[in-house]
Chains A and B, each alone.
Chain A
Amino acid sequence: MKLRNSIRQGHFDSMDFGPYLLLATLEGAVQAAVLALTALGLSLVFGVMRVVNVAHGEFFMLGAVLAWWISSLLTGTPLFGFLAALIFAPLIVGGLAAVADRLILKRLKYDPEATIVATIGLLYIIQQGALTLYGPDARPVAAPFDFRVSFPWFGYSGYKISVILTCMVMLLGVWALLTRTRIGLIMRATQYDRETAQAFGIPVARVYTGVFAFGAMLAAVAAVLIVPTQQAYYLMGLDPLLLSFIVVIIGGLGSLKGTVLAAVVIGLSDGIITIFFDPTLAKILSTILVAMILVFRPTGLFGTATR
């Protein structure tokens, strides 16, 4: 008991509103950053191909599980294993997605309803594959580096702050790819009008495969980045899937800017509303808030039309 009292005299005092807000904002920013990257992948697939990819969350999960696998194969510093995971996990996931596109989605002619069933099937296949090969346990992946950033009121993971920065760099990269390169032009052309693009000699089938693989890779990258702060688990795909859908629609279909902004709104509101309400009530309120944005602005924040 004496020990306890002496500890309480230490620097950890009550959490005032200001520091709490800072903490909730940081947490919200981490969530927003990762969500933006994941949702961007879904948004591309959705926007260009008109495919509701129910298995998108499973690609996220695969990224995390592969990160565990790759980093556990490599001995040495965690940094080395993590970098290997950051390169190879998305490549493997992208390859799988490309195969799935060629074998299944292409044959369904990207019919919106049939692809829902097919991607639900894919979800089961990937989930069971992970359960059988990886197991039901949650496993950690060591962060490439870690230091505790000591604020006057609480400590915070330095790695988490680096995740925010990395995601921002990646998002800028994707933005440059879509708006400044020929690949981006082709993708946008296909999204805008598939038939015309085909008539102008754009290999639409290959673009579709590429987009599907790229979308999956973005989810995998996001997962590799976040998994050192969480754990790899075979059922972890559902939440990113649902949140990504919300972000994509709120942001407005096909709007990169909107997707990122929506991720920030949702990440931060989830973090900050927590300050004021009982946790579950906070989740209820933030969900209603976001739903109401859509009800009264049905095309999302930046969208022109959702079809």
Chain B
Amino acid sequence: MTEQKTNSTKTKHFTRRDTLKTLGAAAGLAAGSHLMPLSGRYAQAQSSEPIRIGFQAHRTGIGASYGRWYERTTMAAAQLINDAGGINGRPIEIVTEDDGTDPKRGAEVVEKFAIQHKTDIVFGTLFSHVVIGSAPRAGELKIPYFVVSEGHHVASGKLNRYVLQPGITDVKSQVQSMAPWVGSNLGKKVTMIYPDFAFGHDHRDYFSAAIAAQGGEVIEKIAIPPTEQSFFKYFPRIPKETEVLYHVMVGPGVLTFVKELGEFFGSDRPQIFGFIDSLEAVDLANPGLEALEGTYFWEGFPRYAQNDGANPHDAFYREKVGVDANGASLSDPKDISTYAHMFGCWETLYIIKQGMEAADYKGPADRAKLIEAVESFTDFPEGPEHPQGAKIFNGQTHQVFGIQNISQVTDGKLKVVHRTSIEDSLYEPEVDYTKMAF
């Protein structure tokens, strides 16, 4: 049972005897626990074993296409860390549990990591509602929770001191850094199409503010209800004076969405700018997507290898994760990665390593020290550990900031036409987590 559940990346054998030992210990704990005070059951012993990292994965549910690649990226980074000697001389072990992309199960999985698997930390969640549903439990169980979610929830101050997002930028900074380029290159009258989800509302609110600062205006906002299978009937709402159509969609309907967009406009279209979320894990060569030629996308990390020297560590990262120059799996060119986002798992894992080394992390008793160590970081230089590019970290808001890319679809591939500076994406802190108690 345990062998299959834990995707152990260390080379050391994880044998049935270990399992039996664990089970024996659990049984002993169960037998002896009635003698202990209640809180004793929730305390954790220090360990000289591998550092255990609980990976909260979207293996099923709507996040599964992302989850699969988050898992591959995580395993690749963990392998590299272990090959280089692990953390503080200890190997790391990734313990994966599926959260079903559901907040309720997410909270249960955090409990399982903290209490049953006794992992040192929890890591790797993408979908915002799972993060927000799990965060209170992580705080109560006092287990550091490193999310890779791009939501603004961490920096907004709504969560707690145990939740950090040091490996991926948040939607507020992404959107805000796009607006100047969109305003000066594509047009000032923008129509937005986004899902009627909190994620879509973040885009709506932050982009509206940012484009207004550029002297532009969002002239129409079209929120698409969830579970919508067909989008065509919403397109007539796009006002005729629209200069830029801004779209961001998530979920399985994205392919239909962009296909229908092309069908509706034909060759007669406004400028189109979208977030690559609309096309993550989708092959640009799919029939019907030809209409995207010439349109623009935000990308966290460019899916297609650019070979322009801007990301010198991209090739190394690509090879280790198993992705080809077109952003597809090396073993199946039709299996497209979620390239723009998944680097966050890689970079977060290296920040965890850096944090544990800085804190001289020994075990769960040092969890607060680990968080303080990460809070003290200010910047991460570009390198194999941060292949997407250099980052600035704000310890008060627990949020990282970085470079963003704007790419144009050219000959069926995404070609980067603009890179923002990190400064474009900074905003005033809304919270100071370092003042909160552990």
List residues of chain A with CB under 8 Å of any chain B CB.
Answer: 1, 4, 7-8, 10-15, 19-20, 23-24, 27-28, 30-31, 78, 128, 131, 135-138, 140, 142-143, 148, 150, 154-157, 229-231, 233-236, 238-239, 271, 274-275, 278-280, 282-283
Contacts and interface: CB of A to CB of B under 8 A. Distances in A.
Interface of B: 60-62, 64-65, 67-68, 187, 196, 222-225, 227-230, 232-237, 239-241, 243, 252-256, 259, 263-266, 268-271, 281-282, 286-288, 335-336
Nearest to A24: B233
Contact of A283 (B67, B222, B225, B288): B225
A140 B237 CA distance: 26
Contacts of A233: 252
Q: Which of A11, A275, A280 has the most CB of B within 10 A?
A: A280
B234 A279 contact: yes
Q: Which of B60, B228, B236 has the most CB of A within 10 A?
A: B236
Contacts of B287: 78, 140, 142-143
Contacts of A138: 65, 252-255, 281-282
Q: Which of B68, B227, B230, B264 has the most CB of A within 10 A?
A: B230
Q: Which 7 A-B pairs have the closest CB atoms?
A: A136-B64, A15-B236, A233-B252, A138-B252, A14-B240, A280-B225, A27-B233
Given A14-B239, A136-B68, A279-B234, A239 B227 contact: yes
Nearest to B58: A136
Given A27-B230, A274-B233, A280 B282 contact: no
Contacts, number: 118
Given A7-B269, A28-B233, A155-B264, 5 more contacts: A11-B268, A14-B240, A136-B65, A140-B286, A279-B223
Nearest to B189: A4
Given A20-B236, A138-B255, A155 B241 contact: no
B327 to A, nearest CB: 13
Contacts of B237: 15
B373 to A, nearest CB: 36
Contacts of B288: 140
A77 to B, nearest CB: 13
B128 to A, nearest CB: 18
A207 to B, nearest CB: 34
Contacts of B230: 27, 30-31, 229-230
A271 B252 contact: no
A285 to B, nearest CB: 12
Contacts of B269: 7
A233 B255 CA distance: 11
A83 B412 CA distance: 29
Given A7-B268, A230-B230, A231-B256, A1 B240 contact: no
Given A12-B240, A136-B64, A140-B288, A236 B196 contact: no
A140 B288 CA distance: 9
B263 A155 contact: yes
24 contacts: A1-B243, A12-B265, A15-B236, A15-B240, A27-B230, A128-B60, A131-B64, A135-B65, A135-B68, A137-B282, A138-B254, A140-B259, A140-B286, A140-B287, A142-B287, A148-B266, A229-B256, A229-B259, A230-B256, A236-B229, A274-B234, A279-B225, A279-B228, A282-B225
B331 to A, nearest CB: 13
A8 B240 contact: yes
Contacts of A78: 287
Contact of A231 (B196, B255, B270, B336): B255
A238 to B, nearest CB: 8
Contact of B229 (A135, A154, A239, A279): A239
Contacts of A155: 263-266
Contacts of B286: 140
Nearest to A17: B236
A280 B222 CA distance: 10
A279 B255 contact: no
A24 B230 CA distance: 11
A131 B60 contact: yes
A4 B270 contact: yes
B263 to A, nearest CB: 6
Contacts of B227: 238-239
A14 B234 CA distance: 14
Contact of B268 (A1, A12, A20, A131): A12
Contacts of A283: 225
B247 to A, nearest CB: 14
B263 A148 contact: yes
A230 B254 CA distance: 9
A258 B408 CA distance: 50
A278 B227 CA distance: 16
A23 B230 CA distance: 12
Contacts of B282: 137-138
A231 B252 contact: yes
Given A230-B256, A280-B225, A8 B241 contact: yes
Contacts of A157: 263
Given A136-B64, A138-B255, A271 B236 contact: no
A1 B187 contact: yes
A167 to B, nearest CB: 15
Contacts of A137: 65, 281-282, 335-336
Contacts of B236: 15, 19-20, 23, 154, 275
Contacts of B270: 4, 7-8
Nearest to A240: B229
B329 to A, nearest CB: 11
A148 B288 CA distance: 12
B240 A27 contact: no
B62 A235 contact: yes
B265 to A, nearest CB: 7
A235 B101 CA distance: 13
Contacts of A282: 225
Contact of A4 (B68, B222, B243, B255): B243
Contact of B252 (A12, A131, A235, A278): A235
Contacts of A14: 239-240
Nearest to B232: A27
Nearest to B67: A136
